[in-house]
Structure 1
Amino acid sequence: MKTNPIAKRFEQSFDAEIRSRFFKGLDFAGPAGDPGWFGPGSAVWYVHSHLPTLILGLVSAAYIEGLDPSISWMGYDHSRLAERVDGVPTGNFDPEGGAVRLAHSISFFIGTAYGSTASAEKLARTVRAMHHTVKGTRPDGLAYDADDPEWLRWNYATVVWGLATAHERYHRRPLHDIDRYYREFVRVGEALGGTDLPTTKAETAECLESYLPRLALTPIKAAQTGPNLRDSKAKAWEPGSEFMDWAARDMLPKWAQRLALYQPPNPVKLRLRRTSLWFALNALHEATGPLKEYRQAQKRAAGKKANPFISTAPTAPDPILTREEIEATA
């Protein structure tokens, strides 16, 4: 049997750039019989097995998430997304930092979907620990805190919206009952400390729009949007590129598109762009197939059914760690 050269090249690249760096300590092959948080037949397994749409969903989620000014300043003050010279943010987007953040996100959403129960819990603890370190004050004097329940609810809604919307629009065979995905995914939000989370597509859309009075296109966000990305060093398919910026804004709800000053191209060009992206994403998936972590999980959980919902909400306070301590154990 001949090896697909595209799949082989993709696997080598993924292993070198993401798996070897960001999947450390995660177990997908064992223990035998452990379905993990979701298991075979689950909507989460199906949605997350299509890596190209998963990545597009994460990019879109990050876009709408950043319309919250507090999120913009959290990223500017604490994340690798902001370019820094001698530790001082320059106001520019850092493509390498964006790639690292995306890789961490891929690790989290592949690990919580297909990893063993212990691996999923480890990832959730790590993200919660990182959130505990993200606290500060915006230039307008308002405090921000990544442990704030309102922020957690907003953050969760943006993520589940992004992943589900990318799946519905660009997956070759999208789920007929997308609400099944929304219901299952709540387990991830609760594991990160979220409460009162939306559990359907309609509830999520309502939740997102309810935050509109507190949203804004900050100077940070504006510098990373539309025409301001024409000189971006990012490649077309990477976060921070003009094309990925278009793809993310094109998926936004109408009210968010107005906030982000999105002007769609004429109907013919819009249809051409969306169709081209649909073909590209599905062709890539067909050429590469699901990740080996998915195949390992299938073997590990063979004969098991999708895991019935059990709350993953933390039952005890987390230890407070520094970012250095968190990164050393991640």
Structure 2
Amino acid sequence: MNLRGAIDDAYWAMLASAHLPGEQYTEPVGDPGYFGPDSAIWYVHGDVSGVLGGVSGLLLGTLNEPVTHGTNRHSDYLRDPIKRLGFTASFVLGVTYGSTPVADKLVNTVRTMHKRVHGTMPDGRAYSATSSEDIIWTGVTQAYSALRAHVRYHPRPLRGRDLDRYLADYAVISERLGATDVPKSREDVKDYFATMRPRLTVSEETLQAVRFLRGAYGDDRATRIGSQIVSRVATDLLPDWAKRLLGLHPRTPLTPALARAAGIAITRTLRYGVRHRSIEEAHARVGAPYTPPSAL
């Protein structure tokens, strides 16, 4: 096997290790789905930098303790993180690039799963994956982090109002999952975090989740080393206020420089080797040309 094939196989062995039922990108022909090829979300999610943003979003998301508690109680990600990553990638890619009936099916599947995730924390705070507040937190932390990774590591990142277009696109996903009054611009997100920050807490459960996300996982040595590098790059993408809360603020000025050099190396390597077949199929479905980020 050549180097490109090995990179492609390793990447999809992690990201596509599990699929939600109904995920496909070829039918019905001509249906652009929720967004379409000219959307900001198709552009942003078409690059491997989104993986770095996804991990950073998970780290940021731990600061909402009820959401973290609910995830821990109703998910097996601590036992099988690769499978959980696969399901998450299946949902995000499917809703982004799938046709309308495919996206609707995936949304309905996740909404059904969310109905089982509810309860009360030991201190009396309630959590529910169907609540608008919890859906917004999960969506905003992921979209915000994906955008930070995109701006820093994409070879030709979106700028200005196009960044707001991406946030508005991602808000559609949160709305389809049942949220209302979702932030849809950079200014909205800034105001949202200003409102949320006094409510964010760091408990032992939060720190346990962070240690797990920053640890090594995978079945082989290369995957485990790679996962740790990704987690360090993802940590660097966090806003300063989140790093301080989590005790992850860099100890020396060299730390961010090393993380960003690693981020550049990872994204360049993945762009060289990874083929986005599902995105190619989505473009073909609507008759739109496709240019992979490696060719930009």
For residue 53 of structure 2, what is the aligned residue in structure 1? 57
Q: SS of 1:136's equivalent?
A: strand
Amino acid at match of 1:48: H
CA distance in 2, matches of 1:28, 1:109: 13
CA distance in 2, matches of 1:38, 1:58: 20
| Contact 2:8-2:273 within 8 A present in 1 as well | no
Amino acid at match of 2:83: V
For residue 28 of structure 1, what is the aligned residue in structure 2? 25
For residue 73 of structure 1, what is the aligned residue in structure 2? 69
Does residue 212 (structure 1) correspond to residue 197 (structure 2)? The answer is: yes
Higher helix share: 2
Question: CA 1:140–1:22 in 2, change beyond 3 Å: closer, same or farther?
Answer: same
- In terms of Rg, which structure is larger? 1
TM-score between the two structures when normalised by the length of structure 2? 0.86
Residue among 239, 255, 263 paired with 1:253: 239
Gaps of 5+ in 1: 83-93, 305-330
TM-score between the two structures when normalised by the length of structure 1? 0.78
Q: SS of 1:237's equivalent?
A: helix
Percent identical among aligned pairs is 32
Gaps of 5+ in 2: 219-223, 290-296
Does residue 280 (structure 1) correspond to residue 277 (structure 2)? The answer is: no
CA distance in 2, matches of 1:190, 1:254: 28
CA drift of 1:14 comes to 5.7
For residue 110 of structure 1, what is the aligned residue in structure 2? 93
CA distance in 2, matches of 1:254, 1:281: 23
For residue 37 of structure 2, what is the aligned residue in structure 1? 40
Question: RMSD of aligned C-alpha atoms?
Answer: 2.4
CA drift of 1:245 comes to 3.8
Segments ≥4 residues shifted beyond 6 Å = 228-231
Question: CA 1:38–1:19 in 2, change beyond 3 Å: closer, same or farther?
Answer: same
Q: SS of 2:6's equivalent?
A: helix
| Contact 1:156-1:194 within 8 A present in 2 as well | no
Does residue 126 (structure 1) correspond to residue 115 (structure 2)? The answer is: no
| Contact 1:264-1:270 within 8 A present in 2 as well | yes
| Contact 1:54-1:167 within 8 A present in 2 as well | yes
| Count of aligned pairs between the two proteins | 282
